């Protein structure tokens, strides 16, 4: 019997199940005909031509079609790569608005199989007549209902009180002995009580998950990091313990609800600057990546093409192609995806990968429509928004140039911190970073210290342990070994332990939003691999139990507890009227002058953080002050240094709070003008009541 087909609606885009049937809607301005394809459990394909089209949206309503129906599209139109038109009905295309994806990319066993995934013949660039249906992933119709319980009241923690933990869904639990084997590497595993207890005791407040948007892997490669998306609204199916026919959506929501119940916010590292489909072979421009979704649906709308040669893709990302954020329909896809994750999936914010690509302007486009849209959106503008403020290509970064209330990965402070501790950095750069980088974030423009996300390491480079265990000029890393010293030399191992604590303490106690890379709190190593995007084994997995550095974990917990207990380390605004509450001194106790800030190499510094000044008001309008002031003694010299405690207002002796030569710091009291001898490359925190 012919399947009943009703006209349906062009809104919303995607597959929308209403309890009795499903509405399908796909945007394509380049199509002459769109065919909806449905697959049964045996792989049989049913093709349904869509005859209704409004404003380039092809649509139909199918009574009786319900979850977990698998579907895809075939788009017929003009095949003319020279003008950027790449319609090929022999290729099955994934719905850009798919809420769940079933199946992966099957590259087959040789070139004949692999060629089915491409819309052209490798030999001459002519249109491929090979059908791709058997080798591509399929979208899944999803029932969006879910019992969120009391989750409408999310944690909504102030940004100044936020501590971010950059985690990876798979890596976090693959080696955890308490997580059931079937749940390791999944959303369910990430929400396991043992993982949540580790995060709670550590003292972080938000988890920032590396990409969970559905991504794919290239032929013979492993895409461990996940920065190659193919479906912006779908949670990655391989991270689901319960199934891939829509169960991944429910499992992700359950994880978010569980994290919220334990007080953790959930941020997503999202990739909207490029897709898995890739770009051109530099030597043969007619050779491009596989056609899985956007390229075949509407290549000219979704991607930035070279105006002089539309066969070529703009490559601002360094990964082959660039999404055309200035096209209203491509921008709509990005905004709809963000709103979906925020409203349906209840995430609390986003870290935008290569956000400079989305925020860029050029001679043709004088404003960033993406930033304008985010800024006026009633849902998204209230979330935590974090930018990775650089391009993937060799172009100037946009650090410090995003709107107020955005936070940005502060790569300048990241490198300044590493250079300072290996005795090659600038004193002025270190001082600026500790103050919240007011040189980058201007209070006069409404910006705050929370604009700076401070980290000792992130996924895209060496871990903290590897930063002090390997020499890598590009990573500003030093192995802490002198000529002739062995790896197991006690002086080397002691210095490495101290240097890890130095880096973590500097990032966590600096003004701004601290971020900890998963495993840095317990000495995770990647064996010196600074680009482990394709490594999915214990090299990149979180160590647990005896493989953890227990002393470093104890120290990191103490650091985060110190920050949480004292608002002077987490100020929401820069101080006004000529003082910012942070005074810097030379080791001899004299104030740092302008010439001192230009010093570089092995330098030392005392930083006074005054807890007596006003920190603003709390939610009830009451003034906020700290009950303590602190001194940070930083010795980046390769020799011990004598520090004189500066003459400062206040009562009583200075107590040692933390010192990086031990897990908790020695117990001692220090009087006014007392000289303290600090070991080479070490940091000490002193405190006293205000």
Specify if 123 maps to a domain: yes
pLDDT higher than 90, residue 2: no
Q: Which among 11, 136, 146 is positioned nearest to 67, based on CA atoms?
A: 146
Nearest-angstrom CA–CA distance, 525 and 278: 31
Residue 283 has pLDDT above 90, yes or no: no
Q: Do 655 and 609 form a contact (C-beta atoms < 8 A)? A: no
How is residue 145 written in tokens? 């209902």
357-374 mean pLDDT? 86
3-state class (DSSP) for residue 633: strand
CA-to-CA distance for 143 and 332, rounded, in angstroms?
23
- pLDDT for the residue 445: 83
pLDDT for residue 586 is more than 90: yes
Report the C-alpha gap between 120 and 311 in whole angstroms: 12
Burial of residue 667 (CB within 10 Å: 0-12, 13-18, 19+) is exposed
pLDDT of residue 577: 44
Which H helix or E strand runs over 642?
strand 641-644
Domain that holds residue 97: 14-140
Residue 357: per-residue pLDDT = 95
Once rounded to an integer, what is the mean pLDDT over residues 189-217?
A: 98
Residue 405 CB burial class (10 angstroms; 0-12, 13-18, ≥19): middle
Last residue of a domain, one of 140, 155, 187: 140
The model's pLDDT over 327-342, given as tens digits with 9 standing for 90+, comes to 999 999 999 999 999 9
Q: Is the peptide bond before 20 cis (omega within 30 degrees of 0)?
A: no
What pLDDT, in 10s, does the model give residues 241-263? 999 999 999 999 999 999 999 99
Find, among 325, 412, 407, the residue nearest to 360 by Cα: 325
Tell me how crowded residue 326 is: count the other CB atoms within 10 A of its CB.
17
The CA distance from 603 to 586, in Å, is: 9
Catalytic residues: 353, 388
Sheet order of strands, 57-63 included: 14-17, 21-27, 57-63, 52-54
Q: Is residue 630 part of a domain?
A: yes
Pairing of strands 452-455, 31-39: unpaired
Residue 597 forms part of a structural domain: yes
Percentage of residues in the chain having pLDDT higher than 90: 86
* Phi-psi map region of 167: left, alpha, beta (phi>0 left; psi -120 to 50 alpha): beta
Q: Give me the number of domains the chain comprises.
A: 2
Query: How much is the average pLDDT of 167-189?
Result: 98
> Is 360 within a domain?
no
C-beta separation of 25 from 34 below 8 A? no
Mean pLDDT of 414-426: 96
* 39 and 140 Cβ atoms separated by less than 8 Å: no
CATH number of 620's domain: 2.60.40.1180
Query: Quick check: is 355 in a domain?
Result: no
Last residue of a domain, one of 121, 140, 159: 140
Report pLDDT for 197.
98
- Specify the pLDDT at position 167: 98
Would 54 be classed as within a structural domain?
yes
Residue 480, domain member (yes or no): no
Residue 364 has pLDDT above 60, yes or no: yes
Task: In whole angstroms, give the CA distance from residue 205 to residue 221.
Answer: 34
Q: Cα 207 to chain center, whole Å?
A: 10
Whether residue 133 is predicted with pLDDT greater than 60 in this model: the reply is: yes
Q: What is the CA radius of gyration of the chain?
A: 27
Residues 6+ apart with CB under 8 A from 564: 161, 163, 203
Out of 140, 169, 184, a domain closes at 140
Q: What is the pLDDT of residue 444?
A: 80
Burial classification of residue 573, based on how many CB atoms lie within 10 Å of its CB (0-12 exposed, 13-18 middle, 19 or more buried) = middle
How much is the pLDDT for 362? Answer: 75
CA-based diameter of the chain, in Å?
94
Give the whole-number percent of the chain exceeding pLDDT 70: 97
Backbone angles phi, psi at 301, to 5 degrees: -80, -40
Confidence at residue 288, expressed as pLDDT on a 0 to 100 scale: 96
**CB of 164 within 8 A of CB of 264?**
no
d(CA 306, CA 312): 5
Q: Is residue 370 part of a domain?
A: no
Confidence band of 578 (pLDDT split at 50, 70, 90): very low
Average pLDDT over residues 187-211: 98
Q: How far apart (Å, rounded) are the C-alpha atoms in residues 412 and 397?
A: 10
Element (H, E) at 25: strand 21-27
pLDDT of residue 169: 98
Q: What is the pLDDT of residues 619-650, one digit of tens each?
A: 888 888 899 999 999 999 999 999 999 988 77
Residue 388 pLDDT more than 80? Answer: yes
Q: Is the pLDDT at 687 greater than 60, yes or no?
A: yes
Question: Looking at the predicted structure, is the pLDDT value of residue 459 above 60?
Answer: yes
Q: Give the pLDDT of residue 199.
A: 98
How far apart (Å, rounded) are the C-alpha atoms in residues 498 and 487? 15
CATH of the domain at 55: 2.60.40.10
Tokens encoding 201:
């005791």
pLDDT at res. 665 = 56
- Look at the alpha carbons of 474, 478, 484, 489 in this order and tell me if their dihedral is positive or negative: negative
């Amino acid at each position: 019997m012919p399947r009943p087909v009703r006209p349906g609606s062009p809104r919303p885009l995607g597959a929308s199940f209403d309890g009795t049937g499903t509405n399908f809607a796909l945007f394509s301005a380049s199509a002459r005909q769109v065919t909806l394809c449905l697959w049964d459990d045996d792989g049989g394909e049913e093709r349904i031509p869509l005859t209704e089209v409004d404003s380039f949206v092809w649509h139909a309503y199918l009574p009786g079609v319900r979850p977990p129906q698998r579907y895809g599209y075939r788009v017929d139109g003009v095949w003319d790569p020279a003008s950027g038109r790449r319609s090929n009905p022999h290729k099955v295309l994934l719905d850009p608005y798919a809420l769940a994806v079933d199946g992966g990319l099957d590259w087959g066993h040789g070139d004949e199989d692999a060629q089915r995934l491409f819309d052209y013949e490798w030999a001459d660039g002519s249109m491929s007549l090979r059908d791709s249906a058997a080798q591509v992933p399929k979208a899944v119709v999803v029932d969006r209902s879910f019992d969120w319980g009391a989750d409408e009241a999310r944690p909504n923690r102030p940004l100044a009180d936020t501590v971010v933990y950059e985690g990876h869904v798979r890596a976090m639990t693959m080696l955890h002995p308490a997580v059931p084997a079937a749940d390791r590497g999944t959303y369910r595993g990430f929400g396991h009580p043992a993982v949540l207890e580790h995060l709670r005791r550590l003292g972080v407040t938000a988890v920032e998950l590396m990409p969970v948007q559905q991504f794919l892997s290239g032929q013979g490669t492993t895409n461990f990091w996940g920065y190659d998306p193919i479906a912006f609204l779908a949670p990655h199916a391989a991270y689901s313990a319960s199934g891939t026919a829509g169960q991944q959506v429910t499992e992700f929501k359950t994880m978010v609800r569980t994290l919220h119940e334990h007080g953790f916010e959930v941020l997503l590292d999202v990739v909207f600057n490029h897709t898995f489909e890739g770009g051109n072979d530099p030597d043969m421009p007619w050779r491009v990546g596989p056609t899985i979704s956007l390229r075949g649906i509407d290549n000219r709308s979704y991607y930035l093409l070279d105006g002089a040669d539309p066969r070529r893709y703009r490559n601002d990302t360094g990964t082959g192609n660039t999404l055309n954020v200035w096209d209203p329909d491509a921008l709509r896809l990005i905004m709809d995806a963000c709103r979906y994750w925020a409203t349906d999936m209840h995430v609390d914010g986003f870290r935008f990968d290569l956000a400079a690509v989305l925020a860029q302007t050029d001679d043709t486009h004088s404003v960033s429509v993406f930033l304008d849209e985010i800024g006026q959106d009633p849902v998204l503008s209230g979330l935590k928004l974090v930018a990775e403020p650089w391009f993937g290509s060799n172009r100037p970064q946009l650090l410090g140039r995003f709107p107020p209330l955005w936070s940005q990965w502060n790569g300048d402070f990241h490198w300044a911190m590493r250079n300072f501790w290996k005795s090659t950095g600038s004193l002025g750069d270190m001082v600026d970073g500790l103050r919240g980088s007011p040189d980058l974030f201007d209070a006069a423009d409404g910006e705050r210290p929370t604009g700076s996300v401070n980290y000792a390491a992130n996924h895209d480079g060496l871990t903290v342990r590897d930063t002090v265990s390997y020499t890598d000029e590009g990573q500003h890393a030093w192995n802490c070994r002198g000529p002739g010293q062995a790896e197991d030399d006690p002086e080397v191992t002691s210095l490495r332990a101290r240097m890890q604590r130095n880096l973590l303490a500097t990032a966590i106690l600096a003004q701004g939003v601290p971020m900890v890379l998963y495993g840095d709190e317990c000495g995770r190593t990647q064996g010196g691999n600074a680009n482990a995007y394709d490594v999915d084994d214990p090299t990149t997995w979180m160590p647990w139990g005896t493989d953890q550095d227990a002393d470093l974990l104890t120290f990191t917990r103490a650091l985060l507890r110190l920050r949480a207990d004292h608002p002077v380390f987490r100020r929401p605004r820069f101080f006004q009227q000529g003082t910012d509450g942070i005074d810097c001194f030379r080791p001899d106790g004299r104030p740092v002058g302008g010439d001192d800030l230009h010093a570089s190499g092995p330098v030392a510094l005392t930083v006074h953080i005054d807890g007596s000044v006003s920190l603003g008001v709390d939610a009830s309008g009451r003034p906020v002050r700290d009950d303590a002031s602190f001194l940070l003694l930083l010795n980046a010299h390769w020799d011990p240094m004598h520090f004189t405690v500066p003459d400062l207002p206040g009562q009583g002796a200075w107590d040692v709070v933390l010192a990086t030569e031990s897990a908790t710091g020695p117990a001692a009291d220090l009087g006014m003008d007392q000289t303290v001898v600090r070991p080479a490359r070490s940091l000490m925190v002193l405190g006293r009541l205000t």
